[in-house]
Amino acid sequence: MLSLAFAQGPALPTYSGSPVTLTMWSWVPGIEKAVAAFEQAYPNIKVETTNVGAGPNEYTKLLTALKAGTGAPDVVQIEYDFLLNFIDVGGLADLSQYGANAYKSLFVPWTWGQVSPDGKAIYAIPQDTGPFALVYRADLYEKYGLSVPKTWAEFQANAEKLAQETNGSVQYTDFHSTYAPWFMGLVWADGGRLWTHSGDQWTQSLNSASAKKVIDYWGNLVDKKYAATLPDFTSDLNSALAKGQITTLAEAAWGPGSLASRLGSETVGQWRAAPLPQWDANATFRSGNWGGSASAVTVQSKNPQAATIFALWLNSSTTAVALDWVNGGLFPAFQAGLQLSGLHDPSKNPSLFFGGQDVAKVHADASAAVPTDFQWAPWFLYANNSFNKYAADAVAGTTGWSAALDAWQQDVLNYAKSQGYQVSAP
């Protein structure tokens, strides 16, 4: 049963219009439970949900519908890093005209900058976030005499020790070579910025000093076989984690819930979370962000006011936040949601999977340490897809790690210019 704390929430707008039915695209597991609660609160608004695929699978369909002028849903879930793509093509409604400005203070500050890049128009309501922390197998740390690393130097020392202890049969971590936002989140945690802009003029630095520091560090771990290169969310990685063949991951806040659902009962209680290692132990603690998403209203919606009310309720109702955490592992962008007792309940996943540890507290601390000035570009969809090629070349050893970033930078720069953007290297 949900905590009574979930029953209270901020004052949300009322709806006095005629009965309407909205459509929504979302990949959140169990989202229909939150929708059912919304329909009880707003009986004149019905919502039909469809999972058309997560991430790029959904975005391809959405771009097609927007270009065709028909077929887009009223409300759509979009990750922060892809929002500018859809803002740029004119596919998202400005929610400020429906009162969304009044709710800015309810959300983690850096997320509002993601949905309102110019500080005026509001193109979505923040839903969840993915601040980084470390997750690790406590039983394997004890078995192999490893300590929880506070710095990236200690992280590498652990990897070296584990390789010696197991003769390479157990790898310390995994480099997610098919997830550009994972890599970018680690650059973000270093204070790096990959895009900046002033007006219509953009600067792109995918091969910045910070980005090269991060890629060379992880490339060294891969080259020495300390880090695997198994794609995330695959049966191969799940199997390796369940069998204790990989001990540690740099993981977003939604990761603990994902691991609890993906790995089953074999390692229940063995996992723990810790703050993300730092480059400098004496510097101010920083984290980055991987993923997280927002609820946008498309320009094709015939009921944008009702759609805005739904987007607000879905992401600032404690009922919805609680349900999405329990059923889908979503880590809320709603600030008050971070304090809900259900997020910290040791008897429920993901805390249960983590031995009763308050994993939400670890990630909430990380959320407060995410730099707020990180920006994405309207051509991120291309940058995201092309990353895989250059990362694969580096993993295969056909190019150096820094050289792979240089090639990626030039490829994406050429593409952005070909699309008419005013963009240059630093």
**Residue 187 is encoded by which pair of tokens?**
């650059």
Torsion angle, alpha carbons of 156, 159, 165, 169, to 10: -160
Task: Quickly name the fold that domain 133-286+374-424 has.
Answer: D-Maltodextrin-Binding Protein; domain 2 (3.40.190)
In percent, the amount of the chain with pLDDT more than 70 equals 98
Query: pTM of the prediction?
Result: 0.90
Same topology between domain 4-129+291-344 and domain 133-286+374-424? yes
Residue 241: the pLDDT is 97
Does residue 85 contact residue 76 with C-beta atoms inside 8 Å?
no
pLDDT at 105 over 60: yes
**Strands (DSSP E) found in 58-108:** 75-79
Angle at 314 between CA 36 and CA 21, to 5 degrees: 55
Place of tokens 């993601």: 114
Q: Say how many C-beta atoms besides its own lie within 10 A of residue 225's C-beta.
A: 12
- Band (pLDDT 50/70/90 cuts) for residue 10 is low
DSSP at 4: G
The architecture CATH gives domain 4-129+291-344: 3-Layer(aba) Sandwich (3.40)
The pLDDT score that the predictor gives to residue 225 is 98
Question: For residues 377 and 383, is the Cβ–Cβ distance under 8 A?
Answer: yes
Percent of the chain with pLDDT over 90: 82
The C-alpha atoms of residue 206 and residue 387 are separated, in whole angstroms, by: 10
Instruction: Give residue 4's pLDDT band: very low, low, confident or very high (50, 70, 90).
Output: very low
CA distance 348 to 325: 10
How buried is residue 371: exposed, middle or buried, by Cβ count under 10 Å (0-12/13-18/19+)? middle
Whether 41 has a pLDDT exceeding 50, the answer reads: yes
Neighbours of 8 (CB within 10 A): 11
Judging by DSSP bridges, how do beta strands 125-131 and 289-297 pair with one another?
A: antiparallel
**Total Cβ atoms within 10 A of residue 403:** 14
Where are the domains positioned within the chain? 4-129+291-344, 133-286+374-424
Q: What is the DSSP string of 192-241?
A: --SEEEETTEEEE-TT-HHHHHHHHHHHHHHHTTSEE-PPTTSHHHHHHH
Does position 3 have pLDDT exceeding 70, yes or no?
Answer: no
pLDDT at 6: 35
Other C-beta atoms lying within 10 Å of the C-beta of residue 85: 22
| Mean local confidence (pLDDT), 123-127 | 97
pLDDT band at 277, cuts 50/70/90? very high
pLDDT at 2 (0 to 100): 30
pLDDT single digits (tens) 284-317: 999 999 999 999 999 999 999 999 999 999 999 9
Work out the average pLDDT over 310-329: 89
Give dist(CA 408, CA 403) in Å, integer.
9
pLDDT in tens, 176-221: 999 999 999 999 999 999 999 988 999 999 999 999 999 999 999 9
Residue 146 clears pLDDT 90, i.e. is over it: yes
Beta bridge partners of 293: 79, 128
Q: Do 292 and 129 contact (CB within 8 A), yes or no?
A: yes
